[in-house]
Every structure is written in C-alpha cells, then in structure tokens.
Homo-oligomer: A and B are copies of this chain.
C-alpha cells in the first residue's frame, strides 16, 4: 500500500462539484487536502483558500492539484503548481491555446512531475470497446454530432463565450477527444464554417469537414441551440460494418447488433471521472506525463481555416 496522493481542487465550478469532488471522495488513491476558488466559499471541513498563492503560504502538504477553472486562467495556475513540484491534472480543454500547454509540458519535464491533460470523455463506458472494434478496420466515412442546449448545460458560464472559451467547441471537443483516440487514422480539417453571434466572441455552431489520411470524410456537426433530444454521437462507416457510439461514449452499437454489455446503471456520465482519476494516479505513481493536444489542434485548425458567419445575438 502506497500513501494516498494529497490533492487540492482548484476552481469550484459546476464540473468540480458534479464530478471531481465526488470522484476524489470515492477514490482510495487520493486524499482531498484543500480546495481553492477565487470567488467560492468554504464548504465542509476541508481547508479552503482564495488562491493558489494562499494555499502555498498555508504550508499544507500537497502532492497534486486538479485545475478546474475556466481554460483562460489555467496556464498561470498550472505553472505556479509545477514550480512547487506538484503534479497537475488539467480539466479539458487543457488551456485557451495550444502553445501554453506545450510550455507547461516542458515545465513539467524540467521539474520531473506529472502533467495530465484529462480528456474525460475518453473514459466514458463504451469508448474502449469502440476503439477495439475499429482497430484494423478501414474507415470510409464518419460523422461526429454534438448538438446540445447551451441554456441547459452551461448556465451562467460566461467564460465559454469569451475569447479562448471555444463556444460550441467546449462540448464538441469531447467528441473530438473520443474520435482522436478511436479512429484508425489521424484526421485534419479541410473546411470550416463557424457561426458567431453578433454580440459574442465564440461560435454558437460549427460545420466542419475533415478527412483522414486515406481521404475518408469526417463531418462535424456542432450546435449549441439544440432543443428536444440532445445528441452526442459518433457514427463510423467502415468496409466491414458500421459503428454508432452514442450518449457521449456511453452506448455502443455496431452493424452486427449491440456489442457486449456496457453496464452504465447509476453511473451515466459520472462514470468517466473515476477512470480519469485512476489514470492520473497511475501516471503519478509511474512518474510520467500524458499530454495530448490533438483535440485542441483540430479546434484551432477549424478556426484557422474558417469561413466566419455572423448570426443573431445570443442571450441566456
């Protein structure tokens, strides 16, 4: 038995409360030793601080931090944590830009600590089986549909509409994080149309055409104004059958019928974070980092190659 990893959670927003704190509470590999939030208030007996600097000044022993703030402020907090010799888990997306994540990777290497770009959707129940089914198959076409109602899923999250907040790509990047881990060949953007509300700095919808190296088309259909049924689906056609991964990676069916059983009772999307924290613990124990910017690279490329269309104002 090794000692638990003493962890502080920084940024007590929706994702910290819904996912990180419960996953840490259930894990035997982590001890929550502090929480940090610029504007939050202390809850329960865990020591609370208004900043990472105050946490450092407290002298509390910390091994690792999970950074769950909006992406625009993650870099500076992560850099401060790495300078303390702390291991760092970055909630997705790992930053507001790619180059800042590359700079953090170098800082983690120098300090010999673990940096983990945590793409939670990769830990959804059916993702591993989907990857196994696709391995060695030849893809002919794919479609990634991420259509959700921003008013339901992102209430009050103004940061999502600010530069570096990614707009509809904030959820859409979850689909890209799955696709980049299960598709047989790397993909890249060939054209992109982004719809920006006249009053905001991030897209509310995106239609992006990608291809893989063999030329197979991959269409992205991302929308933040989806009413009624919500869609988080990846469909992949191959020369030997079709795969549908739905509900954000929770359910899998293939053309031969449902593939195995994925028991998601009582887990739903909550089930992603226990797996994510098991991976983080394994990386820390092994003394290695896992830094993958490939989903962000696709988002950046979709901006770089975009035809930008102005659409009507959006107000929550």
Interfacial residues, chain A to chain B (CB-CB below 8 A): 75, 79, 96-100, 102-103, 106-107, 163-164, 166, 186-189, 191-192, 196, 201, 213, 294, 297-301, 303-308, 310
Contact = CB atoms under 8 A, between A and B. Distances in A.
A268 B304 CA distance: 31
Contacts of A164: 304-305
Given A102-B294, A103-B188, A106-B213, 20 more contacts: A97-B188, A97-B301, A97-B304, A98-B98, A98-B300, A98-B304, A99-B187, A99-B188, A99-B294, A100-B188, A102-B188, A103-B186, A163-B191, A163-B307, A164-B305, A201-B306, A300-B303, A303-B303, A308-B308, A310-B310
A220 to B, nearest CB: 13
Contacts of A98: 98, 297, 300-301, 304
Given A99-B186, A99-B189, A99-B294, A163 B301 contact: no
A304 B303 contact: yes
Nearest to A310: B310
